[in-house]
Structures are given as structure tokens and as C-alpha cells.
Amino acid sequence: MTQTQPAGLLPPGVSSPADLLRVLADESYLADTGLATATWLGLRLHRPLFLEGEPGVGKTELSKTLAALLGAPLIRLQCYEGIDAAQALYDWDFPRQLLHLRAVEALGTMPAEASATSETVERIEHELYSRRFLLARPLLAALETSPSVLLVDEIDRADDEFEAFLLEVLSEFSVTVPELGTVRAQTPPVVVITSNRTREVHDALKRRCLYHWIDHPDFDREVAIVRARLPQASAVLAAQVTGMVQRLRGQDLFKPPGVAETLDWTEALVALGAEQLDVELATATLGSVLKYREDQERARRLDVGVLVAEVLGSA
């Protein structure tokens, strides 16, 4: 007997990758065809989307845009070194449990230990480990919320054990709470997993997902992103800042700027009333685009004036 594939969770009016490309653009997220196709397939097939790429290229922003398109809450699990299952899944609210015990004692409904019956103890334990004392962390919250978008951000910061745990949860979209039973997602959440590739993630997790590498956009698409996100910026300024950032990416920097930094720099210049880039403004606002002192010193050694001149000459 053939099992029917459940219908995917797609935004209204989206029946193809081309449709998704269009509605993403309507939300000022300018994806390329490859990313739109991988995302559409993830939505249609209930498969997690695994996005790798340099910081600031739009991995996290995609999940925010999908949440807006689906009218679903974005539930974010920020990974870090040492994160474990309890911090990602659930925990018990011990302070409230303690208060409950004290309230029971104050009301005189809990007998002394010597005279306590097994039924009474069992009842109190059942109360203490009921759903109202359970703190749902992001993974459990995503399974219990339908629909939802679950962002597992920077999985490369977590360790191998957490990867294995995450794979188990995503395989069945269910978890077991020993005191309460199994919690299974009514509708699997849309899952976006991101990695900055500070280390390699195991193949087992990647095989469960649809994979896409997000690269820095080309000049025209990056200008279009700036214009879509910051319409108050002049066309000249958007092109000049984008050109400058793309030149900086070609240098030997500790942290090459991403699209997020292009937007930050443009926004800072707009706030200063700039209509176009010049050497003085570029030098004064380098902190908006280069976030490490070593990179700023490297840029100054390259001569910001020369880079600005190149951009102005090619604009």
C-alpha cells in the first residue's frame, strides 16, 4: 500500500520555484534561482533546508522572510559551544515546582512524610511534572506550534553529540518527555539550519536536509538588494557602496564584509545625509562595514582614497 505524501507548507499562490522567487522579492529578499528551488522543495517535501555560506549573506534572513510569508512564528535555536538537549528541547520550571510544594504544605493538603500514602505522593509528583511546569525550549516549541518556522542557527558551533540529537528529532518530528509521553508535530515545522562552516557538519545530518551554499551576490543583485532594503538610499550611493564592499572582499581580511555589512554601511551613510560616497565619509564610517580593528587597519593601508576613487571612476 502506497503511503500518501503529505502536502507541503507553501505560501499562498506559490506553486513553483518561480512563484517563490517572486514572493520572496516582494518581501525584499532577492534570492537566486538555485536558492528559490531548494527552498521550494524543502517546503513542498517537508525537508529541512541546510544553508551554508559566509556570515552576512542572508541565511538567517531567509527564515525570517519565510515566517512572514507563511504567517507563522519564527522560533530560533541559537547554537553555541556546549549546548545540550535540555537547553534545546525542554526543562522543568523548578522555582514554580518549589512554590507549588510550599503552597500544598501551607494549605495542609500534604500529610507528614510518615503518614503520607503512596497515592498522595504519586498525586503530588504527577502535579509537579504536569505540562504547566514544563518549559518548552525552541525544539519542543516548534513541534507544538503549527505552523512554525524553526531556525537552527550556526549548527557548526555545536558539537557532534548535539548534531546526532538534532538528527533524531528531525527524522520523526517528535520527542518523548518521559513524564508526559510523546509529543509529535501535527504539521512538521519549516526547518532552516545554517552554518558558517567554521567546522564540517556530519554527512548524516546533511543527508536529512536539502543543501544550498549561499555565496556573495554579484554586483547587480547586491545593488538591487540595497535598493530594495533601503529605498531611501540614492541609486548612486547604493552602487558606490556595493562596489566598495566588493573590492574590500577581494582583500586579505580577517572577516570579509557580507551583504549585511553592505546594508549597515549604506544605512549609516544615509543617516549622515550622504548622496554619494567620498573619502572622508568612507574613512569615518569604516566601523559600519569592517568590525575588526585589524581589518580597518588593513583597509587604511590599502588606501581608502584609492578604493573610493576606483569605485567613483567605474560608477
- pLDDT digit of tens for each residue in the chain (315 aa)? 334 444 578 999 999 999 999 999 999 999 999 999 999 999 999 999 999 999 999 999 999 999 999 999 999 999 999 999 889 998 887 877 787 777 777 766 555 554 456 666 567 666 777 778 788 899 999 999 989 999 999 999 999 999 999 999 998 899 888 888 888 998 899 999 999 999 999 999 999 999 999 999 999 999 999 999 999 999 999 999 999 999 999 888 999 999 999 999 999 999 999 999 988 999 899 999 999 999 988 888 877 778 778 887 765
Strand partners, 210: 49
Give the Cα separation of 90 and 255 in Å (integer).
Answer: 35
SS3 118: helix
Q: Measuring CA to CA, how many Å separate 206 from each of 211, 256, 278, 289?
A: 7, 26, 45, 32
88: CB partners within 8 A, 6+ apart: 77, 137, 138, 139, 162, 165, 166
Q: Which amino acid is at 310?
A: E
